[in-house]
Structure 1
Amino acid sequence: MKQAPMIEAKNLWKQYGDNVVLERMNVRVNAGEFITMVGTSGCGKSTFLKMLLGMESPSSGELLLDGKPIPNEPDQSRGIVFQQYSVFPHLTVLQNVVLAREFEQSRWLGKLFGSAKRRVEDEAKALIDTVGLTPALQRYPHELSGGMKQRLAIAQALIRRPRILLLDEPFGALDPGIRADMHQLVLKLWQEHQLTVFMVTHDLSEGFYLGTRLWVFDKLRRDNQAPTAYGANITYDLPITRQKVVVPKDLQAITEQE
């Protein structure tokens, strides 16, 4: 029996006024896949991520989660990590992670008390240990390195137990050594938490290394007199194995324009 997709785009379009960003997208993603997305700037990668999160709605067509339209606002089923760290500077590492769960369980007060608070703190400490930040438990964000802040942002996203993790160029500002460590961490968390991951990256080799499928966004139609008249689509949808992958020359040229 064929597996029903977790995410499905059906003739999906997105435009802002006369600016067509995405057009004619038809794609299916099963639970547990790791989708990496590359392409030139402005070709709709981050827009698609925002649509998955519920921050943007389709202009036409459908974007479905478990066969139903994606809710038009973020919820706990989808966690996101941006390149710019989404942490609260006046809170410690532990407080930052706990706060995400407090808002989920007590939306109006943003606070938990007594045994409920202790349970969440214990859960947060375990997750902080998983991302390797236990020595920094009581530190504030200004005391953390870039890689540590990104680990904190991932812990904030995972404390809500999302099914889908959305990553928008999360490692672009990190140096190569730290990025390699973050790659191992994300792969470990993807497997342990049984996540479905969508990740935007400008680095083609990173996309091939992390993903189980790599999508290349580009425009199939162009008009030099009206550059915003046509939108991008997925021009390559490549399954990835851990063996060496030969990159098509035209794909390499597309991504080098990033």
Structure 2
Amino acid sequence: MSFVTVENVWQAYSGRSILERVNVEVEKGQFISIVGASGCGKSTFLRMLLAEEVPTRGAIRIDGGEPAREPNPERGVVFQRYSVFPHMTVRDNIIAGEEMATRGGWLFGGARRAAAERADEMLARIGLNHVAHQYPASLSGGMQQRLAIGQALTAKPRVLLLDEPFGALDPGTRVKMHDFLMDLRAETGMTVFMVTHDLEEGFKLGDRVLVFDKPRWDPQDPGAFGATITYDFDARNGGIPFQTIEEKKYDPALA
């Protein structure tokens, strides 16, 4: 049984189709890279996985559960621009990650002291224990992104979602962040979905590479149809297609 199941998902805004007939099954622990041209719905798909958006049609399930109607601790997310709280210290940012996953939100007394100890363990793990009392603005780009990933992992999500997480980094820092993410992934066994515009990065990090594109195109109305998964490559087997999604002819019954 697949861990993440996407069943005939469609999404439309103001009647305009963005995604259509998206179907994919992902095993627990897989790293899925998502690529495609700008505007083809990659980030929309990620927001639906996060449950920040609800599909117009279809369902997304984690481990056979009911489709989520809003974000929850099962899903952690890291954006291209460092998604940390600038007014909090590095340690407090990690504690905040745990608080966001806790019913009631805030931690006090012994619970907060215990969370601070766990935060220090996480900071040591991600190599930021020496800057625990500093604020994010004093950190380099790579350190801020490590902090954002550490904050997301503190909530122990079952699925980690990454939206162009390394796009703003210089090439050297980007390579280091690749190694850092792969080490964390090996330690935690988490399931990862990452949107990237860098095809080489997608194949380097991913077990599979999903390509989003529009199989249907109306030259008179380019926005008439939505994108879907057109290719599903096995990145660990020389790029051989894991599954090729053949173009489907327009079926009025599915519109």
TM-score by length of 2: 0.90
Please list every run of 5 or more consecutive structure 1 residues that lacks an aligned counterpart in the other structure: 248-258
Aligned to 2:179: 184
Secondary structure in 1 matching 2:101: helix
Give RMSD over aligned pairs: 1.5
In the TM superposition, 1:12-161 aligns within 5 A as: 12-105=9-102, 107=104, 110-161=105-156
Q: 1:70: Cα distance to partner?
A: 2.5
Query: C-alpha deviations, 1:109-146, integer Å up to 9, x for none?
Result: x4322321121111111111111111111110110111
Gaps of 5+ in 2: 242-255
Q: Count how many residue pairs are aligned between Structure 1 and Structure 2.
A: 241
In the alignment, is residue 194 of structure 1 matched against residue 189 of structure 2?
yes
Q: How far apart are 1:104 and its partner, in Å?
A: 2.9
Compute the displacement of 1:62 (Å).
1.9
Identity of aligned residues (%): 51
User: Retained in 2: the 8 A contact 1:12–1:22?
Assistant: yes
Query: Displaced runs of 4+ in structure 1, greater than 6 A?
Result: none
CA distance in 1, matches of 2:3, 2:195: 19
Deviations 1:230-256 (A, max 9, x none): 111111101121x65489xxxxxxxxx
Contact 2:233 2:240 in 1 (8 A): no
Which is worse superposed, 157-166 or 58-67?
Answer: 58-67
* 1:7 aligns to 2:4 (yes or no): yes
| SS of residue paired to 2:114 | helix
Normalising by structure 1, what TM-score? 0.89
Work out the CA distance in 2 between the residues paired with 1:140 and 1:125: 15
